Chains A and B, each alone.
Chain A
């Protein structure tokens, strides 16, 4: 019985969303300029933060999986902290670091005239901060379970570390890299707390889909529902694309 309650609790709201959806005017609701802007902004910022995570997160995953040094456990804890940290706190932290008077931001502003908060760049940074750990954890797990014998073999064939990484390690963990990127992208797309705190909600500039949903709920419920449906659809697609990893029993990451 408690299990049934749990199922109902998880499923009913989503069913309600589908039932309440203005299916007839869905196209109109989504083509409103605000909604479209939010959609476009969300897709490109999530993609950008995923790309950044791949480029800098993968090497970090390698460092965590393949090397050992004092303080490594602490480093891993710090890297995974954003997974459990309330995103709003992440946003506050980013603000404190990068605002015009922040720890780093003051120099960026002073030397380069660069102000990050409340810009699309801030959106990308907030999303990367929250989403990159998903990629790192996934890739690190893959690197740990990958057979290092192939890397040894590559070394005996004359390949240096970079060549081994590029031609052997990365291709062999490609499925996990893909899964990590999808997870990361989905998390970035849904990011709300850190983004609104660090980047605000300027339509067309920093108002991503989740933020647009939040505001539209007051002014244009149909648009809010339509945007929610889009996010729900994306989640379903992500779930299906990762079904081999997620819908099996056992640990996920």
Chain B
């Protein structure tokens, strides 16, 4: 383990909460933003909760900046209030009976600063996040974007060594989300410690995170840079999020026999064994005539079972072996007179397929 990680956060633990068990082994270096991606109920919030000390681990340990926070074996446990952690909650949880300034001064005060010092610390953070004008407002009088900034200021004002963000943008409407996201990215870049950012929005993870960790059903199913995860999703869930067709199969040279029926020709790089094959919806071509199959091309029959209008394309849901999502232009739909139930042919070039090893 590098020195960096010793200064950062390490989690090698099992957390049990209400019949659900989360098993995580991960580390985050100072300055690193780790995006925690996963469906509802995957254990994302449980992970944050354990790191913050709101839920004790049932096995293993958590360390932060070289200090043990929680160790199930030795019984060591640092109370939430004593952990140098800043937490931005999903619905912000700003104290409704306090002004913005009082909310931001809460942590410096609770961590032992004198009233005046706490107030000037709060003023510093309010200024830094452009919240000066809102200092005397109550949380009920803030817009979603403003409340998000106040929540971030309140978490940072306690001078944490670790920042936890639970779906920080999910309560915002689409318009403000983009602005706040860009702003959040700047503040995360300024933050010296590691940050864990929970989200179920892949775009958020791609934009904000240096590294992405995918959780499903209480386990880590994939870690990697946002680009890796977006190009080579490890599970159907991730593939769906990043909009790729994903097929699991068994490779033997240039041929992959798919687990759920059908087969695909891939560029022969000598792959053997269990692989995943990812195909972009725009890489697959739909035609009504049976195409001439070539050695470097896959062609198979299918049936249109659904059509969805995206902004400038139409996404076809096609049944076949294998099934596929395919993006076509509205003009193509008209030209081919595609309707639900229509029988079509699907074609995809072998070189347009991304083939990689399957984890387990």
Contacts and interface: CB of A to CB of B under 8 A. Distances in A.
B111 interface: yes
A149 interface: yes
A32 interface: no
A153 interface: yes
Contact of A167 (B79, B96, B106, B154): B106
Contacts of A154: 95, 106, 110
B93 A158 contact: no
Chain B, interface size category, equals 20 to 34
Given A168-B95, A172-B96, A172-B97, A158 B107 contact: yes
11 contacts: A147-B93, A149-B91, A156-B80, A156-B81, A156-B85, A157-B107, A157-B155, A158-B110, A159-B106, A159-B110, A174-B97
Interface of B: 52-54, 79-83, 85-87, 89, 91, 93, 95-97, 106-107, 110-111, 154-155, 158, 164
Interface of A: 147, 149-150, 152-160, 163, 167-168, 171-172, 174
Nearest to B93: A153
B95 A150 contact: yes
A232 B166 CA distance: 54
A25 B213 CA distance: 83
Counting chain A CB atoms within 10 Å of each CB, which of B80, B85, B86 scores highest?
B80
A167 B158 CA distance: 17
A160 B78 CA distance: 12
A158 B95 contact: no
Given A154-B95, A154-B106, A155-B54, 7 more contacts: A156-B52, A156-B80, A157-B155, A158-B82, A171-B95, A172-B95, A172-B97
A94 to B, nearest CB: 38
A153 B81 contact: no
A173 B121 CA distance: 28
A219 B338 CA distance: 100
Contacts of A160: 79, 81, 110
A155 B80 contact: yes
Contacts, number: 62
Given A150-B95, A156-B52, A158-B158, A163 B110 contact: yes
Contacts of B79: 155, 160
Contact of B81 (A147, A150, A158, A172): A158
Nearest 8 CB-CB pairings of A with B: A157-B107, A159-B110, A156-B87, A153-B93, A158-B111, A155-B80, A158-B110, A171-B97
Contacts of B87: 153, 156-157
B46 to A, nearest CB: 13
A147 B106 CA distance: 18
Contacts of A168: 95
B86 A156 contact: yes
B167 to A, nearest CB: 14
Nearest to B107: A157
A234 to B, nearest CB: 30
B40 to A, nearest CB: 18
A147 B92 CA distance: 13
Contacts of A172: 95-97
Nearest to B48: A156
Nearest to A156: B87
B91 to A, nearest CB: 7
Contacts of A149: 89, 91, 93
Nearest to B89: A153
Contacts of B154: 157
A126 B306 CA distance: 75
A115 to B, nearest CB: 45
B190 to A, nearest CB: 20
Nearest to B49: A152
Contacts of B158: 157-158
A168 B102 CA distance: 12
Contacts of B81: 155-156, 158-160
A174 B95 CA distance: 14
Contact of B93 (A152, A159, A163, A171): A152
Contacts of B107: 157-158
| Most central of B53, B81, B158 by chain A CB within 10 Å | B81
Contacts of A155: 53-54, 79-81
B336 to A, nearest CB: 53
Nearest to A153: B93
Nearest to B102: A167
B84 to A, nearest CB: 9
A240 B106 CA distance: 36
B44 to A, nearest CB: 16
A147 to B, nearest CB: 8
A41 B28 CA distance: 67
B145 to A, nearest CB: 19
B153 to A, nearest CB: 12
B88 to A, nearest CB: 9
Contacts of B85: 156
B52 A157 contact: no
B159 to A, nearest CB: 10
